[in-house]
Amino acid sequence: MEKFHLYFSSKLDKQESKYQPKLLEEKETIRIPVGNLIINVKLVKPDDLKNYVMNFLQHYFIILNLKDAVKGGDVFRINNCLKMMIPFFYNHSPLSKYMVECLDYILKTEVMLPPKLAIQVRAAACVNPKGAKAKNKAADMQKENQVNEMKELFKGLGSNKNEHSIETISKAYPVVNDIVSHIDLQISNKEVKSSHKSRS
């Protein structure tokens, strides 16, 4: 059985006048007197697999909680989720831009902004393009999707890319997007979505 050194429970060697560490068996219990109180200490080997799984589950449930809060449009729970995510971002890097964004959003919505403006900022964090119940999405994700769609239009210009053509196609984007969405609706075209980047 593996043995461990426990330096705070050592025996005094009177001949050598120094502390000698006592070898303890795993899960062996020792009694430490602290004043009138006796504390029982049991030496247990750390379970690395358990620690890994616990940390993984903490990450997982925080992400699930945040996704559910965004989907339901619960702006107050979003702030709570961001507060719980700050230690994870800091642990990844003290200079993490995600941690800075979390702190900035929380400080603005809870401390710096007036109550009316703060609730407007919170409400603007989520959008519901189709108006369905519990179908909200993050506003920045919606903007990213629009940017990607506009990039596809820019690619369609081919070699005719210039300032005037890009400005024209940018103005036409809302109309083009509206026409395409109506055509998809009429032919009952459903976009297949997956959380995986590539299908196996």
Cβ contact 67:43 at 8 Å: no
* Mean pLDDT score across all residues of the chain: 79
* Residue 191 scores a pLDDT above 50: yes
- According to DSSP, the residues that pair with 42 across neighbouring strands are 29
Give residue for tokens 């068996």: 25
What average pLDDT does this structure show over 19-35?
66
Cβ contact 78:66 at 8 Å: yes
User: CA 133, 115, 119: angle at the middle one, nearest 5?
Assistant: 20
Supply 87's token pair: 């230690």
Q: What is the pLDDT of residues 50-77, one digit of tens each?
A: 889 998 999 899 999 999 999 988 889 9
The reported pTM is 0.60
pLDDT for res 17: 47
